[in-house]
Structure 1
Amino acid sequence: MHDDITLTVGRVTRVLTERIWPAVHAVSVPLTVEARTLPGEPVPPSEGLALDYEPYAVGAPWGAAWGTTWFRLTGEVPAEWVGRRVEAVVDLGFDVAEPGFQCEGFVYRADGTPVKAANPRNHWALVTPRATGGEPVELYVEAASNPVVFGPIRFKPTTQGDLLTASPDLLYATRRIDLAVFDEEVHALALDLDVLLGLQAELPAGQRRMRILQAIDDALDRLDLADVSGTATAARAALADVLERPATASHVISAVGHAHIDSAWLWPVRETVRKVARTAASMTELIDESQDFVFGMSSAQQYAWVKEHRPEVWTRVVEAVRAGRFLPLGGMWVESDTVMPSGESMVRQFLYGQRFFAEELGVSCHGVWLPDSFGYSPALPQLVSRAGFDWFFTQKISWNQVNTFPHHTFLWEGIDGSRVLTHFPPMDTYNSELSGAELALAERQFRDHRIASGSIAPVGWGDGGGGTTREMTGRAQRLADLEGSPRVRWEHPDAFYARTRDELMGPDGQPRPGTPVWVGELYLELHRATLTSQHRTKAGNRRCEHLLVEAELWAATAAVRTGAAYPHEELDALWKQVLLQQFHDILPGTSIAWVHREAVEQYTRVEREAEALVARSLAALSGDGSARLAVNGAGCASGGVPAGAGVRTPAAVDDTADGVTPVTVAREGDDVVVDNGVLRVVLSAEGLVTSAVDLATGRDAIPAGAVAGLLQLHPDLPNEWDAWDVDRFYRNTVRDLREVTSLDAFVDENGVAQVVVERPVSVDSTVRQVFSLSPGSRTLHIAQATDWHEVERFLKVAFPLDVRAEHTSAETQFGHQRRVTHVNTSWEAARFETSMHRFVHVEEPGFGVGIVNDSTYGYDVARNWTEDGVTTTIRLSLLRAPRFPDPDTDHGVHTHRYGLVVGTDVDGAAQEGVVLNTPARVVIGDHGFDALVRVDGTGVHLSCVKLAADRSGDLVVRVHEALGGRASATVHVDLPVASVGEVTLLEEPLDDGPRSPDPAAVAMTLGPFEVRTLRFALAASSPT
């Protein structure tokens, strides 16, 4: 039996590959081809069509890296093709083994009407559905010669990743540019055999499989290999019986067309603009040619690009959206990273995404679609829910290195207790072909058959691969009700989730027995180094996030206090730029050099323009004069808001608090001792912290014999995915950086103790650390400048702490997450590199220590045992030097600021993190001004103060409980208020908002880590 199966499978595989598929476009004539290569950046289609063209011979080289070549194709439909479907077949030199990551084409008609894309597995374009014979043909192809920087030989360093360093050599040669008859019957035969071949491979050796194999043999016996077209119908007839047998399986595959397009990755943002337009055109073409196919695309930014740069495609997208066939998904500006962006950034991803879809397309998304981000914050369930979404979708957790995630359909519970219905497709892919193997895997691997009846299949080639193909829709048609296979249907994910919710939830709204719940972060056991790669990108993100929230605060204050115009347009544009760069291959540092070069340039621009907005608003508030006024800084920050919102009125800079002990610096042997009456810090001759004593308690934060602030260097060559990964074995080799070039200690003119240490990292790299302690502070700050020229090295800074910590508390959006410090199970052992925002904190009863930072997202923790007890070491991840996809990753000068906060609780660490990320400002004016918003309540932090996105002039204030407990608070607004209501994160009304007798003083009760948003309608007397 096995021999019979092998013979049939081998036979049909070869016939399909060598005879049937080539016969789909066997009848053809060459087109006349002309070409024109552009010297610089792409041009609009109207300009491309008007270029002067020169003769081009098919087979000739074309296309230097990142170039554009326009091809003009002309010809005439032969008279004998009357009544046939005629297509142009355009092979630009594609590698069919890699559907994306290479050259791509976009076909236009002579009048500028878009047809569709030409891609490796989808390189046809319709000329006429029914020829009359003799029709003239004139088509244009905008061909992008994107270099292959990712393929069968992966992770090879290349200079092709930047236009500035790319080779001028021509990369491609066309293979075929023809006018051809599309033989629909041959194509149908190919799909019949393709589906049955895939199906039988997944069936047991029983009657159904044997009947399929016999039918295949019968069909091939009827097929004349010298006349495939003439005998295709007879061959198909032999397959009819096995294709008509209905399914008995209960599992339903909800298919949605998909073309996951990274907003930047191995190509720059400007190329993504074209990838999206090409794909959207192809998918609207496929929608027009099919009855039930639906295509889903996420990322409002990508729709905005189509609208701005390809209005002719945008018109088709809008029509397809209105017809319910082109589905906006996700409700976000981009498919962002969700681990590193701040809480306010995640809110703006939803706010700007949903507003665009509503205003431009009349659509509101009901779920968050994030198939490919690198782990998911435990704060997300609350943010998803409070933004008005009903469901969450991803598949990336299937990439875990060690542990298999136990569910595909479940309720995901976040740090505040919110739950969101979540699904992972059991196909383990977002680029499904609807192959037999994928369908069988989905049914076999689905872990929740007891409670749910189906799963989702995102179907199509991504990243410029062309999206869904007509071969995929043909498979879906045959698999809609086929014995031995799950049933396949095209449908909106909303319909799948609505059905699944009914299966999981009872009529009382409670989960039915057996419904799984996952609590906490969805940690990806892979791509852990994305928390560190491309430090300049991460520093720019952190800096700009804070600046934009601060700019909103002062602009809102100036608007309501002075009548100054609120800069809606400017803030929106800056936010959208930052949100774009939070895309999951930009902020994580996993794109080519070109992408990160531009990202750093854009962060610099955003910073400059946000600073100008802050300065303009503060000038309006403080008036003309020569007095120096303090804004922000210690004592001016309130929780999440990086500014003095509701804490104190700006005061004169030279105002000093009474009773603050001056800082002293003394030499004791080879040691340097710094004392400010709160902390006593000792640094050794090696410039390392050997002691940090909280003078009030006598507790030393540093274990006896240990040193903190120690830079450590590891080799860094992961098994795969250079910029993405760090593998656990990196820890096995470490070099402590103890050598000192110079050490200087002094008290500066501001009364701050400074210990300046310079040391080599290697022959090529150096580092300078400045340890500083201010009067009255319990934070030892370290400002570090690193001139980094390493290759495949990982730089950490270690803080051994004399704290027996059972867990760490690391900041995440609107709160913190607790992670155990032990590795009792494989799940804990796999979390050897984890995420933080501005602080991580450890404690034992009565004593805690925090580590704060201004641009770091990754850290690791270790429990250390000696005969004296258990201590805890926290190490911040500072720099890496992977070679792919950017061979010069992070080379150059970097600055980090971090600090050791001794004798503090979580709230104190959080406040210190805010201060560190919010430099104090000095404003020149003639008067101070009262804070606009004040929050009274322990552990309740102010997150943002802004004017409403709908430009009504309403004031929006967001607060959150930051300690993980229940809290009461009162939000005070210092101006006349007409009314107040609670709103969603999208600033839309909630029915259960607060009822306050004084709308300017709203009393609230918050649960652990709860986020609440208030909207204040200002009284008519307000300047706005």
Structure 2
Amino acid sequence: MHDNREHIEARINRFLRERLGGNLWKDRRAALIEVWEAPGEPVPFVQARAQEYRTFDTGQPWGAPWGTTWFRISGTVPGEWPGPESGPGQGDRPELLLDLGFSGDGPGFEAEALVYTPAGDIVKAVEPRNLHVPLGQGPGETFEFYVETASNPNLITGFTYAPTPMGDPATAGRAPLYVFRTADLALLDTTAWNLAQDFWTLNGLMHELPMDQPRRYEILRAMERAVTAVDPADVSGTAAAGREQLAGVLAQPAAASAHRIHAVGHAHIDSAWLWPVRETVRKVARTFANVLELMEQDPDFIFTASSAQQYAWLKQYYPELFARVVQRVREGRFVPTGGMWVEADTNMPGGEAMARQFVAGQRFFAENFGVEPEVVWLPDSFGYSAALPQIARAAGCRWFLTQKISWNDTNAMPHSTFSWEGIDGSRLFTHFPPVATYNAELSGQELARAQRQYAEKGFGNTSLVPFGWGDGGGGPTREMLAAAHRTASLEGSPKVKLSTPEQFFAAAQEELADPQVWSGELYLEFHRGTYTSQANTKQGNRRSEHLLREAELWAAAAALAGGTEYPYDALEQAWSTVLLQQFHDILPGTSIAWVHQEAERRYAEVAAGLQMLIENSARALLGPGGQVAALNAGPYPVAGIAAAGAGPVPAPTPWLWEREGGGWRITSGELSLRVDDAGLFRSLTEVPGGREVFLPDRPGNLFQLFRDTPNQWDAWDLDAHYRYSSKDLMQPDAMDLEPGSAGRVLRITRSFGNSSLLQRISLSPDGGAVEIEVDVDWHEQQKLLKLAFPLAVHADRAASEIQFGHIFRPTHANTSWDAARFETVAHRWIHVGEPGYGVAIANNSTYGHDTFREAVDGRICTTVRLSLLRGPLFPDPETDQGTHRFRFSLRPGAGIAEAVREGYRLNLPLRQVSGVSSTAVEPVLHVDNPAVVVEAVKLAEDRSGDVIVRLYEAHGGRARAVLRPAFGHDGVSATDLLERPVASDAVADGTGEPAGGVSLELRPFEILTLRFRRRPR
């Protein structure tokens, strides 16, 4: 009666560790193992089955990095064993146990396997903490399995993120990584197994209860009695007695006021990360196979999964498994969610690309499952654009979930459940699971944390816990389901209900009818380096997005003119590639070398295919001949405001550089720029007017090199302390006119460390902007290269382009929230201004920026710095090494309207097409208000031939405009992103407009999709 509590807990812990855990299976018997090693990339089952297998024994090494090894495992079920109909709680169950040499960590980061029958049917996967394969054979019957094993390297062993050559097949080597430990037939002792689950749940709950709670000691004493009741020499025979001692404390119901948890089974499967895309295809099959097998065992189990791309892979490569998923979807037990093609990054994809994530995702779910998810499911992306609420609502989504904001390094978000308002005023009912993980096991610690951290106490009492092994897949296990059943109503614990995302959100919205509102972006105070890492991947994305715009526009124009058929399949394939590579570990630059090498290769293929498509469409539209046409696919063509146009090739810019003192000067009718002997911009003034852009002691065009040694995640993080170690690159190697430029381009070269850069400076064709091209040969590691423009502008905020609009962020650090936002994302432009004057800086592939104010001799200077390159060591130690090209423009005297125009101009330059008979074509569309920007012109997804036009208000104010198509049509309607008619106040009455004109009235940043019904030919 007077035993010390610590002594009792020590006794319980040793019992669980040494007595019970090793006695869950009994009567182990070795199976026969044979092996065949695939010589290269993975092969289909049929090919693997046809190979010659050799004898293999446990204890032998196997598996070169990224290799595939097939094992054939066979044996005979002992005649005295029970049949296969048994399950947990139903008597002993025969199973095959496979240990491929696992480290004991969670699934997804080392060796994995998929088990087939000889007929090619998939049984389930084998992974760490999920070693068993059910035996369907009866006593005395033989069995045989083919086991496809992947020897994927464990790149974060012990959570150490060290540089490794394993992320690149060229440097990974061929030495075996694993030693095969076990292939045993065994009987699962279901009574002992259930006793272990009882202990796991109660022990976890006990340690979360306050020390003065009687319930804590009731559980402690019950577990003590259970340990006494179980004989270590006969665990199987006495496990039932142990369960009897725990039955009473397990039967005590939860309090009526207990926190309510919707436990949603899922598996976060990164579409690429520390493994290539091809391995993700197999991870999806393994995880979904585990889920389907678990559904056979537990009729209450429901599973949800996002990412249409992953279902599409399953359909393509594992059709039998996909058919089983379809059936479970019909039953409501396998629940597609998310509505997107992949769980994308939302900071860097362009507006139309974000829209297409939903168009492609929702279309796949509707066509294959007859469902349209209403939940945006992004647990692990690195911050969330303020444009997302409107885009999601336009795709039919009502709810949003993420867990990642719990990773903030400075400020805790004040809400668990709230209404998230985007830049246009659209709102999404949003939930941040207070459990603060998307890989929960439903442990006592996790459940208590969810209850403790739930922020809406007193207003609501419901949260969601996503459970299941994730990142590398794996999904829920039978142990997790056992925990869910035991905590359905358990005194001291939140109430746990197996559920779906939709069921949770419906319940949460009902109890929290008037949620608090969070307006603007959901900025992640962490992973700020993701705006810059892997510059080639980011450049490939930006270029692909604009090539797709051009390709769709010119293909639509050619089809409308009857010149050619619209290339639906080619465009759909290009979009699929680009959307996949916007996954939140590819586009952010946080994957292994193999992933980014493959991404760059695929971007090159997309570019080549789209370039050919554009030129073919243009020639079909303009006719064959010997002339050269300059095509403009931007919203502001040469001849008036329209969505497409063509014209003669422009004449060379007439403005020339002249020497001035030790530097150079160039002057147009709009600007005068002086560059000093260090290659810095000493003066930039408008002509006439004379407003100076730079202060005397703060010249522009300053390259700065910083030490970049994050505290944790190399490729992900840019920590604030980088600013304390910097070097200004002041002395150029040479500065002279670019050969062949006829005096129009100034060339500056610099060298630093092991790297060098070449800069070309000129003026834009209209003479109103400075154009800067930078070639960098980069060989630095753990360094950050930025380009700074300190501007003589007193700006308390900066405008940054995001999808379908822009967002304002403070340039000061008044609050901890402002200070934490020291690196931000912008798309094609960033603008700083004071009343009456502003400056726009545009780019063609840069996303990371920082903007801040400083006082210089009593005058305020607002500095804009663009982040060009980094050199992180993990997960790719060769990140960004090599050559890169960037383009920027600096336009003084600019407002938001000019910034928008500059961003499109730099990213959609005139395109010259030779071999045409005409050099002019009527634009497909005319818009009479530059605030209304046409983002996409294409033919409808349903292949009806209808024309889809997507446009938005870009300046942040209300806008009226008239849209005039240059093609015949039988009417126009507003649609959602899925191109279905919707009511819209934006399409005003067209009375009084010329025939064919559409009168529009748009709210600030409103997105409008129009469908023009085509007249039959």
Q: TM-score when scaled to structure 2?
A: 0.96
Change (3 A) 1:860 1:418: same
Specify whether residues 952 and 137 from structure 1 end up closer, same or farther in structure 2 by C-alpha distance, changes over 3 A only. same
Q: How many residues align?
A: 1001
- Alignment equivalent of 2:858, drawn from 863, 868, 874: 868
Q: Distance in 1 between matches of 2:532 and 2:499?
A: 39
Q: CA deviation at 1:745?
A: 2.8
Corresponding position of 1:761: 752
What residue number does 2:86 align with?
none
User: Could you say which residue in structure 1 is the equivalent of 2:253?
Assistant: 246
Is 1:770–1:784's contact at 8 Å kept on the other side of the alignment?
yes
> How many Å separate the matches in 2 of 1:1013 and 1:400?
36
1:469 paired residue number: 477
2:845 counterpart of 1:838: no
1:976 equivalent in structure 2: 968
CA deviation profile, 1:768-795 (whole Å, cap 9, x unmatched): 0001114532110110100111111100
Give SS of 2:711's match.
coil
Give yes or no for the alignment of 1:4 onto 2:10.
no
Structure 1 partner of 2:946 = 954
Q: Residue 653 of structure 1: which of 649, 654, 670 is its match? A: 649
Q: 2:97 aligns with which of 89, 99, 103?
A: 89
8 Å contact kept, 1:642–1:917: no
Asked if the contact 1:121/1:465 (under 8 Å) is kept, the reply is no
TM-superposed deviation, 1:22: 1.9
Distance across 1 between alignment mates of 2:827 and 2:743: 26
1:202, CA displacement in angstroms?
1.0
1:512-527 mapped onto 2 (5 Å cutoff): 512=514, 515-527=515-527
Asked if 1:919 is matched to 2:909, the reply is yes
Q: CA deviation at 1:647?
A: 5.6
Q: Is the 8 A contact 1:550 1:642 kept in 2?
A: no
Letter in 2 for 1:667: R
Residues 1:720 and 1:642: Cα distance change in structure 2 (over 3 Å)? farther
Q: Cα offset for 1:855?
A: 0.7
| 8 Å CA contact retained: 2:657, 2:743 | no
Aligned partner of 1:331 in structure 2 is 339
Q: Which stretch of the first structure deviates more once superposed, 74-83 or 169-178?
A: 74-83
- Alignment deviations for residues 77-120 of structure 1 (CA, whole Å, 9 cap, x no partner): 11121344211100001111343210001111111111100010
Equivalence for 2:358: 350
Aligned pair partner of 1:442 in 445, 450, 472 = 450
Is 1:8–1:216's contact at 8 Å kept on the other side of the alignment?
no
Whether 1:194 and 2:200 are equivalent positions in the alignment is yes
Match of 1:892 in 2: 882
The equivalent of 2:1007 in structure 1 is: 1011
CA shift, 1:11, in A, is: 1.8
Q: Distance in 2 between matches of 1:357 and 1:386?
A: 16
Asked if residue 608 in structure 1 is aligned to residue 608 in structure 2, the reply is yes
Q: Give the conservation status (yes or no) of the 8 Å contact 2:801–2:827.
A: yes
Instruction: Give 1:132 deviation, angstroms.
Output: 3.8
Aligned equivalents of 1:153 and 1:1010: distance in 2?
45
Q: Distance in 2 between matches of 1:73 and 1:153?
A: 33
Bigger drift between 325-334 and 915-924 goes to 915-924
Alignment of 1:196-595 (within 5 A): 196-204=202-210, 205-248=212-255, 249-505=257-513, 512=514, 515-595=515-595
Q: In the aligned structure 1, how far is the partner of 2:791 from the partner of 2:635?
A: 27
SS of corresponding position for 2:63:
strand
Deviates more, 1:443-452 or 1:723-732: 443-452
| Residue ranges of structure 2 left out of the alignment (5+ in a row) | 84-91
1:637 is matched with which residue: 634, 639, 650?
634
Q: Which residue, out of 117, 133, 139, partners 1:125?
A: 133
How much does 1:664 deviate? 3.2
Distance in 1, Cα, partners of 2:357 & 2:643:
28
* 1:563 to partner: Cα distance: 4.5
| Matches of 1:314 and 1:619, distance apart in 2 | 43
CA offset digits 1:567-597 (Å, max 9, x no partner) = 0000000000000000000000000000000
Partners of 1:810 and 1:190 in 2: CA distance = 55
The two structures, once aligned, show a CA RMSD in angstroms of 1.7
Deviation at 1:644, TM superposition (A): 9.4
Residue 791 of structure 2 is matched in structure 1 by 801
Q: Does 1:786 align with 2:776?
A: yes
Work out whether residues 549 and 642 of structure 1, in 8 Å CA contact, stay in contact via their aligned partners in 2: no
Deviates more, 1:550-559 or 1:79-88: 79-88
Distance change (3 Å), C-alpha of 1:110 and 1:1007: same
1:730 has 2:722 as partner: yes
Q: Does structure 1 residue 771 correspond to structure 2 residue 777?
A: no
For the residue of structure 1 that corresponds to 2:231, the secondary structure is coil
Per-residue CA shift, 1:886-914, capped at 9, x if unaligned?
01111110001111111111110111111
AA at the equivalent of 1:481: S
For residue 698 of structure 1, the aligned residue among 686, 690, 704 is 690
Give the aligned residue type for 1:581.
Q
> Are 1:744 and 2:744 counterparts?
no
Distance verdict in 2 for CA 1:868–1:697, change over 3 Å = farther
Q: Flag the 1:1019–1:118 CA change in 2: closer, same or farther, 3 A.
A: same
Q: Quote the Cα distance in structure 2 between the aligned partners of 1:643 and 1:235.
A: 85
Equivalent residue for 2:670, pick from 664, 678, 700: 678
Report how far residue 390 of structure 1 moved.
0.6
Structure 2 residue 111 is the aligned partner of structure 1 residue 134: no
Question: Offset at 1:56?
Answer: 0.4
2:152 to 134, 146, 149: 146
Residues 16-165 of structure 1: pairs in structure 2 closer than 5 A = 16-83=16-83, 84-128=92-136, 132-165=138-171
Is 2:975 the partner of 1:1000?
no
Write the letter of the residue equivalent to 1:233: A
- Measure, in 1, the Cα distance between the counterparts of 2:297 and 2:875: 39
Distance 1:1014 1:378, change over 3 A: same
Deviations 1:931-963, CA, capped at 9 Å, x for gaps: 111112241111110001111111000110111
Matched, 1:721 2:727: no
Describe the superposition over 1:209-235 as per-residue Cα deviations: whole angstroms up to 9, x where unpaired: 111111111111111111111111111
Q: For the Cα contact (< 8 Å) 2:270–2:472, is it kept in 1?
A: no
Distance in 2 of aligned mates of 1:886 and 1:425: 31
Q: Does the CA contact (< 8 Å) of 1:27 and 1:181 recur in 2?
A: yes
Using the TM superposition, give the Cα deviation of residue 847 of structure 1 relative to its aligned residue in structure 2, in angstroms.
0.9
Sequence identity, in percent? Answer: 49
Q: Distance in 2 between matches of 1:446 and 1:344?
A: 35
Shift of 1:293: 1.0
How far did residue 35 of structure 1 move? 0.7
Q: Check conservation: 1:387, 1:986, Cα contact below 8 A.
A: yes
Cα deviation, residue 314, structure 1: 1.2
Could you say if the C-alpha distance between residues 403 and 953 of structure 1 is closer, same or farther in structure 2, counting changes exceeding 3 Å?
A: same
Q: What is the identity, as a one-letter code, of the residue corresponding to 2:248?
A: D
AA paired with 1:521? E
Give the deviation of 1:451 after TM superposition.
2.0
1:645 to 1:568, Cα distance in 2 relative to 1, 3 A: farther
Report the Cα distance in structure 1 between the residues aligned to 2:13 and 2:180, rounded to whole angstroms: 27
Alpha-carbon displacement from aligned partner over 1:108-159 (angstroms, at most 9, x marks no partner): 111111110001001101003xx64101011111000001111215211111
Following superposition, the deviation at residue 655 of structure 1 comes to 6.9
* Greater mean alpha carbon deviation, residues 771-780 or residues 417-426: 771-780
Aligned match of 1:508: none
- How much has 1:465 moved relative to structure 2? 4.9
1:181 lines up with 2:171 in the alignment: no
The Cα shift of 1:4 comes to: 3.3
Matched residues in 2 for 1:12 and 1:250: separation? 28
Q: Distance in 1 between matches of 2:3 and 2:782?
A: 50
Amino acid at match of 1:307: K
CA contact (8 A) 1:663 1:775 kept: no
Task: Report the counterpart of residue 982 of structure 2 in structure 1.
Answer: 990
Residue 155 of structure 1: SS of its match in structure 2? coil
Q: For 1:82 and 1:834, locate their aligned partners in 2 and report how far apart those are by CA, in whole Å.
A: 62
